[in-house]
Structure 1
């Protein structure tokens, strides 16, 4: 079994931590200046901001494993088993083609022109750069790196014979990509935003 590779944004994690620190500082400042009652009123808005930043920038990821590709976007995740995988393209971000339609990866934006030029100057192309690890790892996500890792894993599984009867198995078992809404995150955001609006309306 090859290691599971999780691609996510290191910038997104740093941004979320920064948002948390700023929100905490703001709440403390409100408490010092206006008292505990105002802290209670400020908490929903601070919570909504931090949760929103976390959902947009920390949580999204693309996970590549022997079982398939998991695309975790802000509000919904899609598990793409290998028998349903039909290729990918790199546009403004990574797009996986499946038997059940396309899946765009929020966490894997296309790298900048500067990064692409640096790769060309070292004699490598985007397709040549395959992130590797001997154990499960979290790696920085760009569309090109994630595409290379997905292509490498798919080729390795195919060469090893694991995907020989994939189409037959997909048809017989009705295998298809599985989509799941992040219900708890959505509900929490709605509650926090609704509470914040109500608090501001009574200010």
Structure 2
């Protein structure tokens, strides 16, 4: 069994931590100047900002494993089992082609032209494959290479032999799940922030 690779944004994690620190400093400042009551009123707005940044920049990821590809977007995750995988393209971001249509990965944007030129000018021409489970930063090109490498390895080892028949017989399809708790938390915080602003 090969390692599970999770591709997500280091920049997104750093941005989320920075937003959390700024929100905390702002709340402490409000508390010192205006008292605890104003801190309570400011909490929903701070919560919306921090949770929104976490949803958009920290949480999204693409996870490549022997069982398939998990695309975790801000509000919905989709697990693509290998029998339902039909290829990929790199447009503005990574796009997976499945038996039920195309799926865009929020966490895998295409690298800039400058980054691509720098990569071509470097000595590292191959894809580095970790020997254990890992969280990696990655562009659409990096994630595409990892997905292609894993699919080829499973095919060459014979694990995907008869995948089409298994998909048809077993009704295998991409599994989609809304992030219900996250959506509910955002809605509650937005409503609370709106109520606070309306009474300001």
| TM superposition score normalised by structure 1 | 0.96
Paired positions, count: 200
Distance 2:157 2:79 in 1: 22
Distance 1:131 1:182 in 2: 32
Matches within 5 A, 1:188-199: 188-199=185-196
Q: Write out per-residue CA displacement over residues 32-51 of structure 1, whole angstroms, 9 at most, x where no aligned residue.
A: 11001000000011011100
Cα RMSD over matched residues? 1.0
Regions of 4+ moved over 4 Å: none
* Residue 69 (structure 1) aligned with residue 100 (structure 2): no
Report if aligned partners of 1:95, 1:104 keep a CA contact under 8 Å in 2. yes
Report if aligned partners of 1:129, 1:145 keep a CA contact under 8 Å in 2. no
User: Runs of 5+ in structure 1 lacking a partner?
Assistant: none
* Residue 158 (structure 1) aligned with residue 155 (structure 2): yes
For 2:173, the equivalent position in structure 1 comes to 176
* Residue 83 (structure 1) aligned with residue 80 (structure 2): no
| TM superposition score normalised by structure 2 | 0.98
Distance 2:43 2:89 in 1: 42
Distance 2:119 2:18 in 1: 31
* Residue 138 (structure 1) aligned with residue 135 (structure 2): yes
Report if aligned partners of 1:44, 1:195 keep a CA contact under 8 Å in 2. yes
For 1:40, the equivalent position in structure 2 comes to 40
Report if aligned partners of 1:71, 1:77 keep a CA contact under 8 Å in 2. yes
Deviation of 1:123 (Å): 6.7
